[in-house]
């Protein structure tokens, strides 16, 4: 069951992370888990570039993601950045399509320091624009 605070929390996270950017970008919203921890992910599409932020639902602290280019056409990866902007982990997605009509996104989260890897599963919830219209 979706929390009634979800749209407001996501809007706040997106606005905080993109305060210098226009909301003319497209934002897709996903919920799922990394390992056993519930997470919410927001993917931004702007001028052909895909960026993102996510948070563990328990803490709701935004974690920035920056795109990483792979030589694999059917996968996408993003680096998780620490508060100073340094990469600390990588999220590998087994798809390149971040759309609400993509039924399920699987992948892995890998910590750079320890090499620990956790499975990641995400389900689309909609576009941010859908929540702003409600």
- Give the count of alpha carbons within 13 A of 50, CB side only: 17
Residue carrying structure tokens 């563990």:
56
The helix or strand, by DSSP H or E, that contains position 11, with its residue range, turns out to be: helix 6-17
* Most distant CA pair in the chain, distance: 43
Predicted model pTM? 0.77
Give the mean pLDDT of the chain. 81
Interval 14-65: pLDDT, tens:
555 544 444 457 888 999 999 999 999 998 888 877 889 999 999 999 999 9
């Amino acid at each position: 069951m979706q929390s009634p605070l979800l749209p407001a929390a996501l809007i706040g996270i997106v606005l905080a992370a993109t305060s210098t950017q226009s909301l003319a970008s497209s934002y897709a919203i996903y919920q799922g888990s990394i390992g056993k921890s519930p997470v919410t992910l927001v993917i931004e599409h702007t001028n052909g570039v895909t960026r993102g932020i996510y948070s563990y639902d328990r803490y709701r602290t935004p974690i920035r993601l920056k795109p990483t280019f792979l030589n694999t056409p059917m996968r996408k990866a993003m680096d998780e950045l620490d508060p100073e902007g340094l990469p600390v982990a990588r999220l590998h997605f087994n798809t390149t399509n971040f759309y609400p009509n993509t039924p399920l996104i699987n992948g892995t989260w890998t910590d750079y320091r320890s090499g620990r890897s956790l499975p990641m599963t995400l389900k689309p919830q909609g576009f941010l624009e859908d929540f702003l219209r409600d």
